[in-house]
Structures are given as structure tokens and as C-alpha cells.
Structure 1
Amino acid sequence: MKYGMIGAGAMGYRYGVMLQENAGVQVDFIDTWKPNVEKVREQGGVSVARDHHDRHIVPINIFYPEEYHGHPDVWIIFKKQMQLEEELKRDSEAGLFHDDQYVFSAMNGMGHFEKINQYFAKDKIICGTAMIATRLDAPANVDFMGPVNSEVMHMARYNNQEPDEVTQGIFDDFKKAKLGPVFTTNWQGMCMSKVVFNAVCNTLCTMFEMQMGQFIEYPGVPEMARQLFNEAFDACERAGIYLIETREEEVASVTTISKAYKYHYPSMYQDFSKGRPTEVDYINGYIAKIGREHDYICRTHEFLVHEVHMAELMRKYHN
């Protein structure tokens, strides 16, 4: 199958390059960030390293939306939550979307599938999560974190059905790409399992400007994680959302993942450190929203949302 990548950022490059190099499929990249597009064209591709080593140029095809006239079988979307609505509108106006196309997204946070559903039928939307750490250090300069074959991701259809022929084909391509796909039929439980993980590691690492390996050095992390997970699980269960991992599995994953990616700064910190808005409203804020909608107050998550926004505000005094 042929793929179109909407968003040539850290994860867009990770998926696109691995599909192109390992699965041998065609990938066209669509991006709206001019420094990124122009740098790719200047250097003949994207500069890729793994854990800071073996940096090399991978040739790719990259386009602004208005330039693109291809017709991929599958769109893959990796945009920041705050940018998605505008991106989808621009891509639609450029004539990129067609009724026969499928779409996959494994963005952080929640709320994006409702927006994607405005442009794609529910049975053609594939939801995803990715436990895959990647850094975008500069335009067209990406670092794949973690050893080869450490990638793990989940995918589920937005209608919670078993894979159809196209979905199975996408799964097979992801497997060939060495992205480590696992299929489930519970998209909400799958996605919320990743959201509640990010609500611990991403948010706390950002607050204290730490790599994940530094974060897990503190012996109180499991108890902090348990408090946040218990609130999140309680809110989800009241909403009828049952996560694909247990509370204790989530707590244990904080230690194992943090040690595996010990030199990684989570994506929320990468945004924060570069002066960009964070996605905390779509992570801890989304958990708090679910709680409020079902007569449960996630006090710790609500407090963390305020703390992150306060830290964002304070950046102007440190420039």
C-alpha cells in the first residue's frame, strides 16, 4: 500500500522512515512547517540518528498540502492536538482526502479522533498508540530513541470491529516496518491506557525538566504514579471505559519504560523547552474532564494542569 504522512515531526518521521526503509512501501510526507520542508529539500532528505549515533540522510518526498496531487491508500496523522483542526481543514481544502482512503493516527492525548471523523468514515479510521520515544532536535533532524526492535504500538478500529482487509494490510506493513503492532478491539481502553501513562511520565518530567532516567531515580515515583493512576482509572470506570492494562501494570510500566528510555525527554517537555504550548489539556486535562462529566473530581490531575500552565506562563520571565 501507499502511505501519506500528515505531519513530518518526530513521530511522523519515525513511522514514515521505518515504513519506507523496512517495509519497502512508498511514503509521501505532507507538512506545513516551512523551515522543516525547506531543510529536507536543501539536504536531500531527513537527517536520522538512533540514540545519537549513526546519523545519516534518508531521502524522502515532502510536500506542502497545496503541492500534493498523490492518492495514498492510507493517511497517517501525527500533529499536535492544538494544530490538528486547522491542519485537517487546510488538507481538505487542498483536495487531499478521498472516500476510499483509510486513516491511522497515534497522536498523544485524546480528542483527535472526533476531529478526524469529520473527514473520514468511522469504519475507515484506525486508532493507535505508540510507546516509541523520538526527538525532533531541529528541522529535518530526528533521533530515534531506544534500541532496534524495542518499538511497541497498539491499534484498533474506531468502530471496535475486527480487522478488515485494509486494516490487516496496514498491520502487516507496520510489522514489516518493525514498529511492533498489537491489535485490540477496544480503542478507548487502548488510547486511555497511553493517556494515563503520559499523564504521569510526560507531565512530571516536564514539571521538573528531567529525562526519564533521572525521573525514575526518585524512589517515590511508584507511589506518585499510583495516586495519579488511581484517579484516572476511577474516572474512566465511571465513564464505562476499561483500560487494556491494570492499575498495577501501569505502575510497573513507569519503571520499565523510564529505564528503557533513560536519556529521553518526553514530547511534552520537548514542546515546553522550545517555548511551545504543551498538550497537558489533552492528557491530564482530558482525564479531569472525564471525571467531572461523571461526578468524580480528579484533584491531582486538575492541580497538575494548573501547574503546567503556570510554568508555561513563567517562561516569559526567564528569556
Structure 2
Amino acid sequence: MKYGIIGAGAMGYRYGVMLQENAGVEVDFIDTWEPNVEKVREQGGVSVARDHQNRRIVPINIYYPEEYSGHPDVWIIFKKQMQLAEEMERDQAAGIFHEDQYVFSAMNGMGHFEKIAKYFPADHIICGTAMIATRLDGPANVDFMGAEGTEEMHMARYTNEKPNDVMEAVVADFKQAKMNPIFADDYMGMCMSKVVFNAVTNTLCTMFEMQMGQFIEYEGVREMARQLFDEAYDACERAGIYLIATRQEQVDSVITVSQEYKYHYPSMYQDFSKGRPTEVDYINGYIAKIGRQHDYVCRTHEFVTHEVHMAEMMRKYHKNVENVADVQVEPAKAI
């Protein structure tokens, strides 16, 4: 299978490089951020480290949409929720989408599959979630967080049908790439499981500008997580959405995942620190929206959403961080 990555950011680079190096498949990268594209071309590839170690240049093929003439079998999309509609419109205008192609995405938040479905048939869409931490420290400069082999992801078809031959081939490539894919029967329950996890770790780490390891130093984390999870699960159950993890498993995962990625700043903070809008409306805000639609008010999620937007507003009074790696903090204590 040949893959095209739309969005050469933290996760786009992670998937593309691992597919290219571990699975030995052909990968092209499509991006619209000029400093990123030009830096790749200047240095002969993307600069990749894992947990700040062994930084190296990985040669890749990168293009602006308008100059791309390739024909991948599967597109892999990793854009920010706020940028996706404009990106898809530009890619469509550039003529890079074709009727026989499939598309996979494991973006944070919710709302992206409806946008993708405007350009691809429902049965050609593969949904995903990724419990994989990655930092984009600058143009063409990425850091894979976590030891090799700790990557984990879930996949489901947008139609909730059983895997067909194409999806089986994608799963095989992802396994070869060491992404550790797990098949799920219901895409909505699968995706919401990741959304409610991010609604705790991403959001709270962003508001307090902390690494995940620092976050779980606070003894009240389990109680805070349980309050947010209980609201999210109650809202989802009223909407007929059943998550793949139990409430207690979610609470426990906050600790175990934060231990694994203790030096990681979640993607929401990476945007926040650079003065960019966050995806909180597609995470906590999305949970609150589901609740309102089903006569259940998620007061904590609504309040937290406002808090993040207030913190975004306050960035105008502070200097933005160009590179998350420049943030100097004391090492997180062992948990």
C-alpha cells in the first residue's frame, strides 16, 4: 500500500516515518505550512528524536497540494480540527483526491469524520484513535515520546462494518510499522473513549502549563478525573454512545499513561503555548454539546471549556513559546 499524509505535523510525521522505516512502504507528505515544507527541503528531511535522544534526519518526500501528482492508496489525515475544512477544500481544488482512495484519521476531538465524508464515500473512511504522544518542537523538528513498542491505537470503519480487504491491508501495514492497531466494532464509542481521556489530561495540563508527569504529582488527580469522566459517561450513555473503556479504566489510564509520557506536553498545550487556538471546543466542548442535546448539563466540562478560552485570551499578555523544548522545568518525580 502507498500512503499520503495530509498534515506533516507531530502525528503526521509519527505515522509517516514509522510506516516508511518499519513497514517499508512508500509515503508522501502533503503540507501547507510553508516554514515546515521549506525546512524539510533545506535540511533534506525531517529531524526526528525519541524522548529527546538520538536525533537524526529522516529523508521524506513533501509537497504542497498544488504540486502533488501522486496517487496513494490511502490518505492519512492529521490536521487541527479548526484547519481541516479549509485543508480539505484546498486539497480537493488541487485535484489530489480520487474515487478509489481510502482515508484514515486519528485526530484529536470530534467532528472531523463528518468533514472528511464530504469528500470520500462513507465505506472508504477508516476511523482511528491513537494513544501516542508526539511533540512538534518546530518546523520539521519532531520528538516521538515514549519507548518504542509502547504505541497503541484503535481502528474502526466509519460504517461500523467488518474490515474489508483494504482495511486488513492497512492494519497489516500499521502492525508492521509497530503502531499496535486494535480493531473496534463501533467507531463512535471508540472515538469518544479517547475524547473523554483528552478532556482530562490535555485540558488540565494546558490550563496549568504542565507536563503529564507533573500533573499526576497532585494527589487529587484521581478525584478530578473521576468528576470529568462521570459527566462525560453520563452524557454519552444518554446519547446511546458506549465507550470501550469503563469509568474506572479511564481513571486508571490517566495515571499509567501519564507515567509513560511523564515529560510530554499534550498537543493542546503545544498549540496554547504558541498562541494558537486550542481544540477544547472539539473535546470538552463536544462532550458538553452531547449533554445539552440529551437533557444533561455537563457543568464541569462547560466550565472547563470557558477556562481554557480565558487562558487563551490571556496569552496576549505573555510571550509565546516557539519551541516547547525550550520550556525549562524540573524533572517530574517518579510516581
Same fold (TM over 0.5): yes
**Superposed, which structure 2 residues align to 1:199-278 within 5 Å?**
199-278=199-278
Q: Which residue of 1 aligns with 2:81?
A: 81
Q: Which residue of 2 aligns with 1:296?
A: 296
Letter in 2 for 1:133: A
Deviations 1:191-239 (A, max 9, x none): 0000000000000000000000000010100010000000000000000
Q: Which residue of 1 aligns with 2:140?
A: 140
Tell me the CA shift for residue 52 of structure 1.
Answer: 0.3
Q: How many angstroms apart in 1 are the aligned matches of 2:251 and 2:203?
A: 15
Tell me the CA shift for residue 78 of structure 1.
Answer: 0.1
Tell me the CA shift for residue 156 of structure 1.
Answer: 0.2
What SS class does the counterpart of residue 275 from structure 1 fall into?
coil
Letter in 2 for 1:77: I
Letter in 2 for 1:269: Y
Q: How many angstroms apart in 2 are the aligned matches of 1:85 and 1:96?
A: 15
**Superposed, which structure 2 residues align to 1:62-101 within 5 Å?**
62-101=62-101
Q: Which residue of 2 aligns with 1:20?
A: 20
Q: Which consecutive unaligned segments of at least 5 residues does structure 1 have?
A: none
Q: How many angstroms apart in 1 are the aligned matches of 2:173 and 2:5?
A: 14
Q: Percent same amino acid at aligned positions? A: 80
Q: Which residue of 1 aligns with 2:181?
A: 181
Q: How many angstroms apart in 1 are the aligned matches of 2:175 and 2:296?
A: 40
Q: Which residue of 2 aligns with 1:6?
A: 6
Q: Which residue of 2 aligns with 1:59?
A: 59
Q: Which residue of 1 aligns with 2:325?
A: none
What SS class does the counterpart of residue 287 from structure 1 fall into?
helix
Q: How many angstroms apart in 2 are the aligned matches of 1:47 and 1:3?
A: 20
What SS class does the counterpart of residue 295 from structure 1 fall into?
coil
Pair 1:36 & 2:28 matched: no
Tell me the CA shift for residue 185 of structure 1.
Answer: 1.1
Q: Which residue of 1 aligns with 2:103?
A: 103
Deviations 1:122-175 (A, max 9, x none): 000000000000000010000000001000000000000110000000000000
CA RMSD across the alignment: 0.4
What SS class does the counterpart of residue 129 from structure 2 fall into?
strand
Letter in 2 for 1:306: H
What SS class does the counterpart of residue 19 from structure 1 fall into?
helix
Q: Which residue of 2 aligns with 1:306?
A: 306
Q: How many angstroms apart in 2 are the aligned matches of 1:19 and 1:118?
A: 27
Deviations 1:101-138 (A, max 9, x none): 00000000000000000000000000000000000001
Pair 1:167 & 2:164 matched: no
Q: How many angstroms apart in 2 are the aligned matches of 1:256 and 1:77?
A: 28
Q: Which residue of 1 aligns with 2:155?
A: 155
Letter in 1 for 2:166: V
Tell me the CA shift for residue 315 of structure 1.
Answer: 1.1
What SS class does the counterpart of residue 76 from structure 2 fall into?
strand
Q: Which consecutive unaligned segments of at least 5 residues does structure 2 have?
A: 320-335
Tell me the CA shift for residue 318 of structure 1.
Answer: 2.2
What SS class does the counterpart of residue 55 from structure 1 fall into?
strand
Q: How many angstroms apart in 2 are the aligned matches of 1:147 and 1:250?
A: 22
Q: How many angstroms apart in 1 are the aligned matches of 2:20 and 2:318?
A: 42
Letter in 1 for 2:131: M
Pair 1:47 & 2:47 matched: yes
Q: How many angstroms apart in 1 are the aligned matches of 2:283 and 2:130?
A: 15
Letter in 2 for 1:203: T
Tell me the CA shift for residue 317 of structure 1.
Answer: 1.7
Q: How many angstroms apart in 1 are the aligned matches of 2:55 and 2:260?
A: 21
Letter in 2 for 1:92: Q
Q: How many angstroms apart in 1 are the aligned matches of 2:7 and 2:175?
A: 21
TM-score (norm 2): 0.95
Deviations 1:227-265 (A, max 9, x none): 000000000000000000000000000000000100000
Deviations 1:15-36 (A, max 9, x none): 0000000000000000000000
